[in-house]
Each structure stands twice: as C-alpha cells, then as structure tokens.
Structure 1
C-alpha cells in the first residue's frame, strides 16, 4: 500500500523512536529522536559545538538560529545577509558563516553569540562553502554560470590577506569544499549540480599554495553531487550524489573505485564523518523511506532514522562526542516548519 504524504508524516511522528534502530540482534534501540520547529523559513546548514547547535537560514534569511544540545532554541545571531555554509574553528569557539548576499564571511563568538569580524571576499564573489586548515580559511565562491572558483583568507595576518582565483579551472557555480581535521595539507573540492559529478584533490603547501593533484575517474562519483567530506586523516573522501543511491568512500590518493559503499536509498543528499572518523552518517531525500543512516567504515549499517520531511542538502552534523546526530529538514510546500531533528545514536 502506498501512503500519501500526509499519512506518511503522521506515521513518522508515531513511530520515529522505533525507526531509530540498531541492526538485528542488537541489545537495545536508541532513545527517541526529537523534532524541534525552528523560527526560520528555510535552512542551509547545521553544525554542533557540543553545548550549542547552529542552523543557518539560507540565502533568503538574515539569521542563524542557536539551540541547546537537546534542540531547544536559545537564541539567534542576526544581521547576517544570506547565511549558508557554517564552519567551526578547531576549538569550537568561533563560528564562520558564509554570506553570499554580502560577499563576505562572518566570524561569530560561539559563547557570546556576537559577530566580532567580517571578512570581505571581493565584489561579485558570493562565497557559499567553507573549509579551514590551520590559519587558512578557504571558500568556494561563484554567483552564477561558470564563475565558480576557490578563495583563501590568511587569518594569520592582520588584516587577513585575501587571495582568489586559486582553482586550476573554473566551476559551474560555487564549488563544495572539505578539509581534514588532522591533515592541513589537503583540500577536497566538489562540483555540485552537474552530471556526471566530479571532485578534485588539492595539496596545500607552504604559504597556503594550492596544488592540483587529481580528479575522479569518469562517472565514479555519479550524478548531481550534493555533499562531500574528508576523514580526519585526509586519506579517504566521501561523496553523496543524487545517484548512485549510496554514500561512496574513495581513497584520496586514487579516486577511481569506491573502497566502501553505504546504501541510503534514493537521492543521497548529505554525508558527515564523526569527529573521531570512526562512523559515517549519510542522508537522503526520501519521501516514504528512512532518511538518515549511520554506518561503520566498512559500510555496514548501524542505525537509521525516519524524519518525515525533506533533508536539506548537506544538512547533517555530529555532536563532538558522537552521541547525537543533528539533521535539518525543510518542506517546499510550506505545510511543515523548518525542523531540527535531534537523533540519539546508539553506541557502535
């Protein structure tokens, strides 16, 4: 029997706890997930600093909503034109916010929730993707057409030094960026929205010099790339594309054949590595099936969750201790609010 959308949402609300399950034979299921409506019409990204969670409102917003670890809304950071990608510093005390509508990147204190710096990225840049390697804050930018490229802010200089046009070739719109928490020498760059999809590996040298290393084998990534990630060591990359219906892992040194595949069902949209790099979260824009999955590095499923609405592209974040996943959903019909889902994850 095929459920209509309203029936599917009601069923999800009644059975969310049952769907947050570990594989067959496991001793216990995770605690019940929680869904918290947010005071924004849309959402672009989510990150967790541990005691606080941040959700950006997207290009038509001026707000980043702040919640407690359990999802309760505790504040808002305002006056941020079109906030999209969010990035935390290594000590989680600074939140960087991409502001494509202002051609800038904001820096916000995660304790006081105040903006203390705003970095200009140049006229017509429209930065919308961020990555951090030590003193270098990288951003993927592009406003329309084939104007996408990579920029760099050297935060070790006062004022921060801006460099743009660092990519080997241009991209169709702003590229996706990902860096490795424990390896400052690599940067992963993805081309979203095209078929076939592609990613490129770059090396980072002295003075932040960016060197092209390689790209993927033809069609290896699939179609319509939505999200990318690097493990902490920077030796394995992960992709979530509209097709194939799996999150794929590839060696950073040879983007040819997947080293692991994590099945998510139709239209993968997000991938996120736990802070220790030991678990993979994958999400899909599934209308009638579970939306979020937790996998081991071997691709074996450990948990799954039904959200009852559409997962935002890239809309997953792990808590620093790996005990929770955060997911953001939006509803293009406007029938349901933008929602933060707090998903307790069973121990591995």
Structure 2
C-alpha cells in the first residue's frame, strides 16, 4: 500500500482530481451558450437546483462556502463556514439542503429559504464525509480516505438524528465513493469508485437496517475513475460519466447489465437526467467542439448539442466535472464552466434545453 499523505493534502489532492482537465475532442457544430455569470470561486464540487425557491446551490470546497444563484444565474447569497463542503443533497420538498463537510467531520443541515444552518451533525473525528445521497429519511454519505473509506448514514427529519459508520467493509473503495439514489427506488443505493481504473460499481439494498450488497461489477463498460453518477426518474437505470470510455453508458438496476449508450466524445465528466427523462451528457472538450450533448431517453442521436463558448468568441472554458444540473421541471439546464488555471468559474444557464430546436 502506498505511503499515506497528510490528511489535508490527501483531501486537496482528491479535490484537484475532481477538476482535472484531460484533453481534446473532435470538432462538431454546436449551439453556443451565453457567457454566463462569473463566480467568485476557482473550484466547485457539486450543484443542486431548488424548485421551491428557484435557486441553484454551488458548493466550493476551497473556500468552504455555497453560492446561491437564481434561475437567471445571478448570485443572490453566499453561505459560509462550511469547511470542505462537497456534495449537496436537497430534501424532497426542497426546503432543506444537506452538505457533508470533509474538513469539519460533519453534515450541515441548511434551510434553503434563509440560507441559515439549522443543525450540524458530527460524523466522528477523521471521517471526512465527502459524497452523499438521500434515500427517504436516510442520508447516506461516502467518507474516509484511500482504502479506509466506507459508507455512513444520518437519519434525517427526526427529533434524534443518528449517525452510523462502517456500513460497508473498508477497502471496497479507494476513497469516499460517489453515491446515487432515486425517490422512485427508495431501497436502492449505488456506489462508484472515483479513484481507480478500471473502476467498480456496487448496488446495495438499503430497505433494511443495514445495506445488503446486491451486485458489484469491476470494470463496468470499461469505465475508469467515475466522475459522475445519476439515476433515471423511474429508478431503473444508472447513467455514468468517466474519463473512459468516450461515451456515456447506462446500466440497468439492480443487476448492472449494460443498457443504452449515449454517444459523446472524450472525455466524459458529467451527466444529468431531467424529470422528463432527457439526458445531458457532458464532456471536457476544447472549443468550438460541443461541451454538452442532449438526448431524449434511449435516443441514438442528440436532439441538440451545446458549446459553452458563445458565438462572440469568448472563451468560456471547459465544462467542469459534475458540472451539470437540470431544473426540476426540465426546462433549464445549468452548467459550470471554466479553466483549471483561471481564478473564476462561470455559471451558464441553458434555457429551453428540453426543446428539439436549436437556439
């Protein structure tokens, strides 16, 4: 086993991996997006879209803050004092935001209307919770570093929230795993390895008191180092993005047999699916190649492609890893773009993303 780095350096190394630019993609024609809104951050980890207040939440690991934007992309608030914030999970009613804090060994519970923290639940010294997914009244979180990582849980919406650790054996994943759930499949939790090539996907039955492993697949579809995971609205399919292969594969649940493949190019780094089932497949491209491919569910060809470099020639940069999120009604797609050597990222709003016509 390799020599362990100091904890802070290991976490920053993982954060850097999430924002790594990997290369180029072949040129095609794409509809340009606008220039977007400059963000006062150089790195983001996740974004979540709140339908109740029409807000977009963007986590910034480096500054320990969450930016709050409206549906037009304008920054309206900054939530601070969230050291090591990464994943953002919204409650079903969009009234509560859950945020793991890797540098504070805690889960923050935030009121989406006021932006104020309601509670902060300690997860234990050295746990470093990083990724999260909500299933019913349980928030599962991937925590730990290197081969000491595992999955924990926090009961939510109760008078006495309870944290549990070690729900899967240490060593199953080489770092805090990416997690995915769907309200349509409350008993299913998917975990993916973000740090190894080839990677591993595992499906757990979480309907009982402890997760039960249902399926695990090494090298699913030739995947290396998952960047993003999401489940379709019906909870029956998992969509993935990883540095390779150079397309966006899907896998049927719970057996992880390969399903439909959404063609894109090198290097896939984000995927999001709308409530209508439309798929946004994002890649780390070089302008003027498309950054985002939009598909109807199960379609062989995209109904639209989008470049994050506008027609004016402004270099908006690459789509960032895990940099896509749909508005819950499927009418807008939000994207985070920027370059690894720039001081500021940008929030780009892609309106009418569900339509079959190009702007």
Same fold (TM over 0.5): yes
Please say which of residues 155-164 and 60-69 is displaced more in the overlay: 155-164
What RMSD, in angstroms, separates the aligned Cα atoms of the two structures?
Answer: 1.8
Distance 2:117 2:181 in 1: 24
State the 1:46 CA deviation: 1.1
Normalising by structure 2, we get a TM-score of 0.84
Partner of 1:71: 73
Match of 1:316 among 309, 315, 324: 324
Match of 1:133 among 132, 135, 138: 135
Partner of 1:262: 262
Match of 2:347 among 322, 340, 343: 340
Distance 2:354 2:232 in 1: 21
Match of 1:52 among 42, 51, 55: 55
State the 1:159 CA deviation: 2.5
State the 1:216 CA deviation: 2.2
Distance 1:106 1:218 in 2: 34
Q: Note closer, same or farther for the CA distance 1:36–1:112 as it changes in structure 2 (3 Å cut).
A: same
Partner of 2:201: 199
Partner of 1:15: none
- Does structure 2 conserve the Cα–Cα contact (< 8 Å) formed by 1:44 and 1:312? no
Distance 1:193 1:90 in 2: 30
State the 1:219 CA deviation: 4.5
Q: Note closer, same or farther for the CA distance 1:115–1:183 as it changes in structure 2 (3 Å cut).
A: same
Deviations 1:28-53 (A, max 9, x none): xxxx5451101122211111113111
- Does structure 1 conserve the Cα–Cα contact (< 8 Å) formed by 2:204 and 2:215? yes
State the 1:107 CA deviation: 1.1
Count of residues in correspondence between the two structures = 316
- Does structure 1 conserve the Cα–Cα contact (< 8 Å) formed by 2:198 and 2:225? yes
Structure 1: gaps of 5 or more residues: 1-7, 9-17, 22-31
- Does structure 2 conserve the Cα–Cα contact (< 8 Å) formed by 1:217 and 1:255? no
Q: Secondary structure at the match of 1:130?
A: strand
Partner of 2:333: 325
State the 1:346 CA deviation: 3.9
Distance 2:56 2:246 in 1: 29
